[in-house]
Structure 1
Amino acid sequence: MSDVEDDSTQSPGAAGVSRGEVVRLLDHGTASADTIIRDMRGYWNGIRKGRAVPARSDVDPRAIARMLDFAFILERIAPGAARMRLAGRHLIDLMGMEVRGMPICAFLNAGSRGRFSDVLETVFKAPQIAEVMLHGKSGYARPEMGARMLLLPLRSDFGDVTRALGCLIADGEIGAAPRRFDLVRDAVFPIIDGGTILPPSPSTIGFAEHAPSFERSPAPARPAASPATTPEERRAMFRVVTPGPADPRKN
């Protein structure tokens, strides 16, 4: 698939999937979060083909059919911010709506979006791999849930690292949608064994950090006029007023 054709999972007739059709998880039984994340990382490593970061065009939905319900592809749109170009059925069920075009931070509560933005930016900037542990609080018609997210960097058709392949797996009953999560733990990993990592830090402008505020400096005070002290100075302050022509209407 090309980045331009992200709205279609594959061409008509390929594996029986047509344009615009929702692809469900194949009947392979219920897979655990550990299995899905391990398989997704293994697939990403397999399409690297000796490169540090694989290309977006290398991703084939047919090859990740077992993880497809939980998979997504992101496009970086600003520092620390990315939107969904493709998303599986599990993510749609969590939000209770179509999620293509949504920012990925929509799955997190407001208090966790800053830290998540920091982690996400390192995936594109380093680049590196990130895994996030999430927790959904219980509430009315919403049972408590745990979730895990994996983020893997991809190169766009232009060669820059502005795409990401990932998966989100929530355990338990979804209940009333939308479901949003708190970030409880995160970890980053180098794309090459033994490589260095870029620790997430709130140094990027975006969701991670408020833009600096600018305060207007006070205007300088005008110097006070010195009072007239001598008669000559006081006379210089008087102004001669001459009467104007008489108003005929007053006669």
Structure 2
Amino acid sequence: MQNPIPDRKIDLSAYGTAIAMSDAPDRLIAFLMAYEAARGNKTVPRRSDLNLRQMASLLPDLTIMERIAPGNVVYRLMGTSVAHRLGTDLTGHNFIEYLDATERLRIDECIALVADRPCGTFSVYENTYASGAHVRAETITLPLDSGSGCAPYLVLGLHSAQAIMSYDVAQQGSVIGTCWRDGVVLDLGFGVPEQSVLDRLKTTP
């Protein structure tokens, strides 16, 4: 059963940098309010805690992923708008295989941080879709408890601000993360990696 929205004041100060970076701050805030309402005093909210009615307008742009092993991050849920942009529903597929090759190690490490520490990430990057559209996009990822009560957690993502930058000829399949622009690791109360790790995560190999 989904929990009602609590009366307590929800503190989003941990997400201030992400909100400031976002091209869709109102949408991001709505997502964060729903996440923190579900989280309450828990380390991480359970999937069953999410108030889907409160998140109704966001559901088409949500994904849930599970990191099975290094380099193997499986989509467990893909919203209809995400699937439409990519040209196919990748539920059950390995997310890493659809990334630009230069981004795979770095993004896999970011996902591991969310699943294991836990923490959050906010990223601004570019995608190239099968339609030929080059798009500026942003994603926030946060940990989600599958029911085990411990890490590794699932990774909940909201994908927003799909701004078309240019068009090219149509291609075979979409590529996620063709260019990484900026991002931040979000401290959910359990710390973030040391600065050398954060610096490495901001640099494409």
- What TM-score do the two structures reach when normalised by structure 2? 0.71
- Give the aligned partner of residue 58 of structure 2: 67
- Give the aligned partner of residue 122 of structure 1: 113
Are positions 1:156 and 2:153 aligned together? no
CA drift of 1:50 comes to: 1.0
- Give the aligned partner of residue 176 of structure 2: 180
Do the aligned partners of 2:61 and 2:81 also contact (CA within 8 Å) in 1? yes
Alignment partners' CA distance in 1, 2:118 and 2:165: 34
Query: What letter matches 1:197 in structure 2?
Result: V
CA RMSD, Structure 1 to Structure 2 (Å): 2.9
Residue number among 20, 34, 39 corresponding to 2:30 in the alignment:
39
- Give the aligned partner of residue 125 of structure 2: 134
CA drift of 1:60 comes to: 3.8
Does the C-alpha gap of structure 1 residues 81 and 132 become closer, same or farther in structure 2, counting only changes over 3 Å?
A: farther
Alignment partners' CA distance in 2, 1:137 and 1:49: 37
Are positions 1:145 and 2:145 aligned together? no
Alignment partners' CA distance in 2, 1:173 and 1:101: 30
CA drift of 1:181 comes to: 2.4
- Give the aligned partner of residue 171 of structure 1: 163
CA drift of 1:174 comes to: 9.5
Does the C-alpha gap of structure 1 residues 159 and 141 become closer, same or farther in structure 2, counting only changes over 3 Å?
A: closer
Q: For residues 106-138 of structure 1, what are the alpha-carbon distances to aligned partners after superposition, in whole Å with 9 as ceiling and x for unaligned?
A: 442111111111111111121001111111359
Segments of structure 2 that go 5 or more residues without pairing to the other structure are: 2-22, 199-205
Does the C-alpha gap of structure 1 residues 123 and 89 become closer, same or farther in structure 2, counting only changes over 3 Å?
A: same
Structure 1 stretches of 4+ moved >4 Å? 173-177, 199-202
Alignment partners' CA distance in 2, 1:137 and 1:101: 21
Q: Which has the higher contact order (CA 8 A, sep 6+)?
A: 2
Alignment partners' CA distance in 1, 2:38 and 2:131: 41
Q: Which has the larger radius of gyration?
A: 1
CA drift of 1:166 comes to: 1.0
- Structure-to-structure mapping, 1:77-226, within 5 angstroms: 77-79=68-70, 81-136=72-127, 142-161=132-151, 162-169=153-160, 170-172=162-164, 176=170, 178-182=174-178, 183-192=180-189, 196-199=191-194, 201=197
Alignment partners' CA distance in 2, 1:69 and 1:62: 13
The number of residues matched between the two structures is 170
SS at match of 1:83: strand
Alignment partners' CA distance in 1, 2:166 and 2:62: 17
Segments of structure 1 that go 5 or more residues without pairing to the other structure are: 2-31, 203-251
Alignment partners' CA distance in 1, 2:125 and 2:29: 18
SS at match of 2:75: strand
SS at match of 1:63: coil
Alignment partners' CA distance in 2, 1:64 and 1:37: 11
More helix by share: 2
- What TM-score do the two structures reach when normalised by structure 1? 0.59
